[in-house]
Structure 1
Amino acid sequence: MSLLNIFKNKKRDKVGLFILGAQKCGTTSLHYYLDQHPLLVGSQPKETDFFSFDGYYEKGVKWYHKCFELNLKPNWLLKFDSSTEYLYIPYCAERIKKYNSNSKFIIIKRDPFKRAVSAYKMYRALSEGKLWSKSYLKKVKMHNSVLQSKMIELLNRKPFPEFVNLVEEEIKLLDQINNDFIYEPSLISRGNYEHQMNRFLLHFPKENIFEIDFERYTENTIEVLNEVLVFLGVNHDFFDESYDFSIQLKSSESFSIDAAAYKHVQQLFNEKINA
């Protein structure tokens, strides 16, 4: 359904676009860029986590819609939410279906191993207190109790596990539960994009989902952004060099691991993700 049809059908009060993730795949920059468009209204904060965190979901739709009120523009047509947990947590697709059956989705896919490296750095920084804050802990506690405990347990581990050890630990967990959903650690699991997409395809047609390759997005940002606008049914040549592309897309993340160990864990990782 185009934005014009959403407007005619008076359905625009509901959020109609969800940038699902994946985690550590450039959703922050995509949210920022799309929010520059006069017809598009991004949530504040970028990740509302309304459909993924029970504590927020129980507050109801009126609370959710307040996340967009401060950002409304004179001629806006579409609200969008960029919460990466929606892609990974199994019950989110069904919750979004109940909320708006005409929803559209964007998924950014990144090489699963590179995504895992980036996620590991984030988790380690959180564990070491570099990103930890009372507000973040409060947000984690809005999860349902099982997911909350898994995240807090991971971040409280001292010393924080090395990348290789955490990958090996997750492989053992996945083997024990026959590749079913686990919340944390999820370095491997969050890279299984097809499995996660299939949950949404149970509730929404494939044409409602737009896939972006992370590498192409970083190298051809303007072209990809205008393709997103085509997908949404709005003017497709809006973005050009005049817009603010100050958010750094290219990852320079690294951490200390010797070459042999790196090769070993990459092999383990790829064997599991392709199983």
Structure 2
Amino acid sequence: MNKVGLFIAGGQKCGTTSLHAYLARHPQICAGPKELHFFDDEGVDWARPDHGVYEARFDGPGMRVDATPIYAFWPRAMERIAQYNPAARLILLFRDPVERAWSQWCMEYARGDETMSFARAIREEQRRIAQGGAAMRHHSYVIRGAYGMQVARAMALFPRRQLLFIESAELARDPAGVLARVAAFAGVAPFGAVEPLRHNARAEMDYPAPPDAADVAYITQRLAHDRALLERLTGIGGGRAV
């Protein structure tokens, strides 16, 4: 059985769409549709999941890649991946958490799924999530930037050699260098000439005011301990390569 062997598991608004597009051009990679949302689907019978339905979404030879960046964040998704394929390799991308939160808010605002201002939404986030419903998916602006927690969960489930951590700014600045690391990590031939891509750009429209100094301070304070955890586990944030 040709199981899915590579996952772009995180994080949302961190360059995952561009990375998926790069991978889809590689002749040894079979990239499934972006955002398959299988392992975060709470409608699946996880006592007896039908992985055949999932695998049928991939058409073609090569290493199968699922790019669904909510997986690293969604409760139990990583555990489900580990049960499905303990040998899977996972890529997690990270972006400045304030920029990431603002980008997600803009996406939700453009879609009509957010009516609160950014300043109010980040401060109401914990209350909204506690109430359940769709808030965990659509209004998790700050907590999705808790990358350290996501890395710790991944490290508890997979050997370190099966995890690759990438900063989104590095992907944008040096796609050829990042893709060389990705190819080596995935065990495929090096990429050929790389044409810089930028997918899933922000919708062109008028947005309310971007984060101000108070918003930046609020997010930074909420994630301070997690940021220290991320640096300790990966070196990201400390100026060291991962």
**TM above 0.5:** yes
Q: Secondary structure at the match of 2:193?
A: coil
Aligned structure 1 segments of 4 or more residues deviating by more than 6 angstroms: 249-254
State whether structure 2 residue 208 is matched by structure 1 residue 256. Answer: yes
Task: Give the Cα–Cα distance (whole angstroms) in 1 for the partners of residues 224 and 197 of structure 2.
Answer: 35
Q: Does 1:189 align with 2:143?
A: yes
Query: CA-atom RMSD, angstroms?
Result: 2.7
Aligned-pair distance for 1:47? 1.1
CA distance in 1, matches of 2:127, 2:44: 32
Question: Which shows bigger deviation, 226-235 or 216-225?
Answer: 226-235
The answer to whether the 8 A contact 1:41-1:80 is kept is yes
Q: Answer yes or no: is 1:247 the counterpart of 2:232.
A: no
Whole-angstrom distance in 1 between the partners of 2:75 and 2:117: 28
Q: Distance in 1 between matches of 2:174 and 2:200?
A: 11
Match of 2:34 in 1: 46
Aligned length: 219
Find out whether 1:107 has 2:66 as its counterpart. no
Query: What amino acid is aligned across from residue 247 of structure 1 in structure 2?
Result: R
Q: Determine the C-alpha separation between the residues in 2 that align with 1:268 and 1:120.
A: 16
Q: Which residue in 1 is equivalent to 2:120?
A: 165
The yes-or-no answer on 1:274 pairing with 2:224 is yes
* Partner in structure 2 of residue 142 of structure 1: none
Provide the C-alpha distance between the structure 2 equivalents of 1:100 and 1:68, rounded to a whole number of angstroms: 16
TM-score (norm 2): 0.81
Q: Counterpart in 2 of 1:90?
A: 75
Structure 1 gap segments, 5+ residues each: 1-10, 128-154
Partner residue, 1:29: 18
- Among all aligned residue pairs of Structure 1 and Structure 2, give the percentage whose two residues are the same amino acid: 30
2:9 is matched with which residue: 20, 38, 41? 20
Aligned counterparts of 2:92 and 2:45: Cα–Cα separation in 1: 22
Equivalent pair of 1:16/1:103 in contact (CA under 8 Å): yes
Contact 1:49 1:56 (8 Å CA) reproduced: no
SS in 1 for 2:119: helix
* Cα deviations by residue, 1:106-158 (Å, 9 ceiling, x for unpaired): 0110000000010000111122xxxxxxxxxxxxxxxxxxxxxxxxxxx3x6x
Letter in 1 for 2:214: H
Residue 139 (structure 1) aligns with: none
Question: Which of 180, 195, 215 is matched with 1:265 structurally?
Answer: 215
TM-score by length of 1: 0.72
